[in-house]
Amino acid sequence: MEKNNPNIDEVNARVESGGLRGPVDWVFPAWEIYIEYEARRIAEAFPLTEEERRALLGFGGIMKNLLQRAREQAKAKLASIRNAIDSNNYKLEGGRLHAPDGAWMHMGEEPYIVIEGVDALVYFPDVMKLPREKLELFQLGWEVHEEEGEGGRPVYATADPALFLAWAAARFGELHVAITRAILLRDGVAVEVRAVARSWRKRWSKKKAEKLVEKYARRGIMEPFFTMWLGE
């Protein structure tokens, strides 16, 4: 199979195994295919209004555009860095490898290049339609998982499209989404997506959230554990 022509079966298998990565010309289209497929599947499976369906499919369209733009930027930067290395015309400074044209790569256990200026405001509808009390239990688990904060708003960054969509479903509404990094791993490139949930505010510190999860677990309420351990 050509690595620049991913199909949904292959992409699903990679996502389920916890590793959507590969060559640049494969992994970015793989993200596009997965987001589009899941958006359509959710639109068909959940009792959404026509407006919500349009919003969900519109979300998929915006994500596709962002991923295409990020792909072109990543290809250009990686080509520049490779040429600099091949010609021995680069500079190492501050943990970064710099090419003559300004492209740079962070050096470390997981090298990466930064994707700049590829972001948009998107709207993700309320697909689960849970009672507020139940929804907050799932949000609590995300607070313990890897969710961070920015100006009091929930922030989540991941290289896993399934986790990205699961988080968006719990933090629905207006999202500021950015494609932030192409991470260079031994088995290929991974794409990092970062989102700020502008319709929500963080309610708990991580320490407080952890105590609440333990409290709920003692009462047999396990929803926070589901999102806390999701993807582990």
What does each of the 232 residues of the chain score in pLDDT, given as a tens digit?
345 689 999 999 999 988 899 999 999 999 999 999 999 999 999 999 999 999 999 999 999 999 999 999 999 999 999 999 999 999 999 999 999 999 999 999 999 999 999 999 999 999 999 999 999 999 999 998 889 999 999 999 999 999 999 999 999 999 999 999 999 999 999 999 999 999 999 988 888 888 998 899 899 998 888 888 874 5
Is 37 within the bounds of a domain? yes
Q: According to the model, what pLDDT value does residue 192 have?
A: 98
Structure tokens given for 54: 């349009």
Closest CA to 59 of 115, 114, 127: 127
In a domain, 205, yes or no: yes
Is the residue at 1 inside a domain?
A: no
How is residue 102 annotated by DSSP?
S
pTM over 0.85: yes
Tokens of 23: 């060559």
Q: Using CB atoms within 10 A of its CB, is residue 126 exposed (0-12), middle (13-18) or buried (19+)?
A: middle
Residue 87 lies in a domain: yes
**In sequence order, which residues have a C-beta less than 8 Å from that of residue 126 and are 6 or more positions away?**
52, 172, 173
Q: Please, which residues bridge with residue 69 across strands?
A: none
Q: Report the pLDDT value the prediction gives residue 2, as an integer from 0 to 100.
A: 43
Asked if residue 2 belongs to a domain, the reply is: no
Residue 215 covered by a domain: yes
In the chain, where does DSSP find H-type helix?
A: 8-16, 24-45, 50-86, 132-144, 161-170, 206-218, 223-228
Pick the closest to residue 113 from 121, 102, 122, 104 (CA basis): 104
pLDDT computed for residue 193 by the predictor: 98
Domain count for the chain: 1
Q: Domain range for residue 28?
A: 8-228
Distance CA 69, CA 91 (A): 27
| Cα three-residue angle 142-182-140, rounded to 5 degrees | 5
Q: Are residues 105 and 85 in contact, defined by beta-carbon separation less than 8 angstroms?
A: no
Confidence at residue 165, expressed as pLDDT on a 0 to 100 scale: 97
